[in-house]
Amino acid sequence: MRLSRYFLPVQKENPAEAEIVSHRLMLRAGMIRQASAGIYSWLPLGYKVLRKIEAIVHDEQQKAGAIPVLMPTIQSADLWRQSGRYDDYGAEMLRITDRGDREMLYGPTNEEQITEIAGAGIRSYRDLPRILYHIQWKFRDEVRPRFGVMRGREFLMKDAYSFDLDKDGARHSYNRMFVSYLRTFERMGLKAVPMRADSGPIGGDMTHEFLILAETGESAVFLDRDLADLSLGERVIDWEDGPALQEVVDRYTASYARTDETHEEAVFEAEIPEERRLTARGIEVGHIFYFGTKYSRPLNATVNTPDGEVVPFESGSYGIGVSRLAGAIIEASHDDRGIIWPEAVAPFEVAVINLRQGDAEADGACDDLYAKLIARGLDVLYDDRDERAGAKFATIDLIGIPWKLVVGPRGLKEGVVELVNRRTGETENLSPDDAMNRLAATYGRA
């Protein structure tokens, strides 16, 4: 993409309403624009990031055995009356009536809907287990939306739902999602720690929240420092191997990790030696829980067992705040110049900066680099604006592109361009070919 033809409304000054860094940077970098309280349009740059996050979530969900579907945003009130949640949910649920005065609602979540679908489509124990998920916009009429997309009223969420015959099966499904979440967040360059959660209004007893550690997090967290250092790395997961999954889950839940909701100082101090006690702040980016037959029973979603009995499903639900992640990643990865995208979610993989726009040699070299990078499958943003070098650096650093290829007449005389890493600032003078090879290798392209 040539920046001169892109839509990137960046701002030099901080918007007054944005209090936390991710909100400020998302507005300044032209990623989002507020439509009304807690509701945002995603501009091209923000939308690219959102799609990349979404793609990783899709990929990891499916690797773990979950099957994608897409349910509507608008649901019928009747379904929610059956589960008893129509009244329980309160003012947070956006209620709508259609022209026939039928009561509808904009879905804040989809347990009822998916249970109805699974109940209708699954009749036999032979059809179990199944995990269905979708990534869809949700609406919760929060009392106090804030922090930009971190706590909007409209937000994009991945929600998965598992269906099993019995509790052992449900645990396997739960563990699949647990490990899948570890992989998902790790791939995005995040350090997410599973913490014991409160079962909350949806209920259930097997439940964890995944929090990434960041100073601006909304929750206080208390954990064994060692847990924050765990990593799956390149470990190969056999998703069908229940005991192997359980072993991973056990390792991540072996020690103390709780949010302020469930924190017990005395237990913390008794279980964890002082030097390993880590008190920090965290942003919740995922939440999983097992809730048994809470929905299948009232909605009459049942299967036949091998013995010919009819029983309700054992279920759990598993959420990831997809739009929130865009903000959360920025909270975890930025500096005073702007965003620092992890390579996996960066809106562009590399920026070409022409230091001397209009100089025939520089223009020619940049055009050539730009074409070749595209040919090698890299997503490149070419800053070809008629701006001074400083303005280009400031823009590219603000929007957080992980790598810069800096091209100017001086370097070209020596036959080199500069390859600059956004995070470390490390600069290498390389021939254009070497620089391209380096980038292709970094991103795993030919």
Partner RNA sequence: CGGAGCGUGGCGCAGCCUGGUAGCGCACCUGUUUUGGGUACAGGGGGUCGCAGGUUCGAAUCCUGCCGCUCCGACCA
Binding site for RNA (CB under 7 A): 9-19, 23, 34, 36-38, 91, 140, 142-147, 150-153, 155, 157, 200-202, 209, 218-219, 284-287, 319-321, 323-324, 337, 355-356, 358, 387-391, 393-395, 397-398, 406, 408-412, 418, 420
Find the shortest distance in angstroms from Cβ 378 to RNA.
20
Q: Which is nearer to RNA, 122 or 355 (CB)?
A: 355
| Spatial contact of 195 and 216, defined as CB atoms under 8 Å apart | no
Find the shortest distance in angstroms from Cβ 140 to RNA.
6
Q: Which is nearer to RNA, 275 or 426 (CB)?
A: 426
Closest alpha carbon to 237 in 193, 194, 187: 187
Euclidean distance between CA atoms 24 and 11, whole angstroms: 10
Find the shortest distance in angstroms from Cβ 120 to RNA.
26
Find the shortest distance in angstroms from Cβ 259 to RNA.
9
Q: Which is nearer to RNA, 211 or 272 (CB)?
A: 211
Find the shortest distance in angstroms from Cβ 305 to RNA.
31
Q: Which is nearer to RNA, 299 or 405 (CB)?
A: 405
H helices of 306-445, in order, are: 322-332, 360-375, 389-399, 409-414, 432-442
Q: Which is nearer to RNA, 129 or 286 (CB)?
A: 286
In 78-177, beta strands by DSSP E: 94-97, 103-106, 130-139, 154-164
How many residues appear in the chain? Answer: 446
Q: Which is nearer to RNA, 48 or 151 (CB)?
A: 151
Euclidean distance between CA atoms 43 and 335, whole angstroms: 22
| Spatial contact of 53 and 326, defined as CB atoms under 8 Å apart | yes
Find the shortest distance in angstroms from Cβ 297 to RNA.
21
Q: Which is nearer to RNA, 362 or 436 (CB)?
A: 362
The token pair that represents 378 in the structure block: 């890299």
Question: E strand or H helix at 74, and its extent?
Answer: strand 74-76
Long-range contact pairs involving 88-94 (C-beta distance under 8 Å, separation at least 24)? 88/201, 89/201, 91/141, 91/143, 92/140, 92/141, 92/142, 92/143, 93/140, 93/141, 94/139, 94/140, 94/141
Find the shortest distance in angstroms from Cβ 267 to RNA.
20
Find the shortest distance in angstroms from Cβ 62 to RNA.
20
Beta bridge mates, 206:
290
Q: Which is nearer to RNA, 316 or 319 (CB)?
A: 319
Euclidean distance between CA atoms 4 and 383, whole angstroms: 7
The token pair that represents 134 in the structure block: 């979708």
CA 35 to chain centre: 22
The token pair that represents 44 in the structure block: 């091209």
